[in-house]
Amino acid sequence: MSAHPPASEQDWLAAYDPRAFAPVAVTVDVVALTLRAGRLAVLLVQRAEPPFQGHWALPGGFLRAGRENLAHAAARELAEETGLQGTDATAALDRVHLEQLGTFGDPDRDPRMHVVSVAHLAFAPDLPAPTAGTDAAAAAWHPVDTLDLPATGDDGRTPLAFDHAAILGHGLDRARAKLEYRPLATAFLGPTFTIPELRAVYEAVWGEPLHPGNFHRKVLSVPGFVEPTGTTTDRGGTRGGPRARHYRAGPAHLLHPPLLRPGREQRNP
């Protein structure tokens, strides 16, 4: 068969079994975000093999053809590369929110061949430190503010492998936007939490302080966002203050009205 059939032969291509001519691989990558010590962090693995040996990369791997769908592949890769595969770890992973982020398929994004990567976005509560998988030299949570995106690599640090810096940038944008109208911030917290803890999630993801009083009012005014448990914290904050009430996530899937980020009206690109 011809290596470069002319443009008019797309019907010819479609009539044949693509496994005979289409050297395309499909991988799944995961932008897994969590809160570590009050800072937004992303899970990265250090590549043990070429290409990009020694570089940090998003966890991911090849889709198992014919045996799993994309969401399952993403969940499997996340479990494998965090080392969270025990019974209690499975319970922790059940609390993870996982959604598709986008698909990246430039022909030269992988030097080996044409690899189409379906990126996913995961919001996780504070997971234990990851253990490196067999094809990785290390795995760790990295605070995103020290990655200094999108200029990663310009100041001497090793840049992320492949186009993973761009994928991570998309994931952060999506996470910041999605917190406005979906109750996903609770996915970063335990089963119960306080309003100030919820506010800390928003401040960490958005990277700016929020007005405590207004945030409190808005969260409680959204129907189904949080519901009180009736209990409070055992003691006040480390620097004083009254005890905070406990809440749990409510049944809402959509925040109405949304919690909008401050100061996003004056810039129009």
Partner DNA sequence: TATGTTGACCTCACAGTGAGTACGACCGGC
Partner DNA sequence: GCCGGTCGTACTCACTGTGAGGTCAACATA
In the complex, the residues that contact its own copies under the rule CB under 8 A are: 4, 10-11, 13-15, 17-19, 22-26, 49, 61-63, 65-70, 80, 100, 102-107, 112-116, 118, 133-135, 223-224, 251-254, 256-257, 264-265, 268-269
Contact 41, 133 (CB under 8 A): no
3-state helix, strand, coil in the chain (%, to 5): 30, 25, 45
Closest to 225 (Cα-Cα) out of 241, 196, 210, 247: 247
140 lies in the site for DNA, by CB under 7 A: no
Which of DNA, its own copies, none interacts with 216 (beta carbon under 5 to 8 A by kind)?
A: DNA
Q: How far apart are CA 43 and CA 144, in angstroms?
A: 10
Which of DNA, its own copies, none interacts with 63 (beta carbon under 5 to 8 A by kind)?
A: its own copies
Contact 150, 169 (CB under 8 A): yes
46 lies in the site for DNA, by CB under 7 A: no
Cβ neighbours for 68, distance < 8 A, ≥ 6 positions apart: 76
Least spacing, CB of residue 100 vs its own copies, in Å:
6
Which of its own copies, DNA, none interacts with 118 (beta carbon under 5 to 8 A by kind)?
A: its own copies
237 lies in the site for DNA, by CB under 7 A: yes
Least spacing, CB of residue 49 vs its own copies, in Å:
7
Give the H or E element holding residue 107.
Answer: none
Cβ neighbours for 118, distance < 8 A, ≥ 6 positions apart: 26, 27, 28, 29, 63, 70, 74, 100, 102, 103
With contacts defined by CB under 7 A, name the span among 42-50, 61-69, 141-149, 192-200 that binds DNA: 192-200
**# of chain residues touching DNA (CB under 7 A):** 30
Which of DNA, its own copies, none interacts with 159 (beta carbon under 5 to 8 A by kind)?
A: none
Please give the structure tokens belonging to residue 101. 């982020």
Question: Site residues (CB under 7 A) for DNA?
Answer: 194-196, 211-214, 216-218, 220-221, 232, 235-245, 257-260, 262, 265
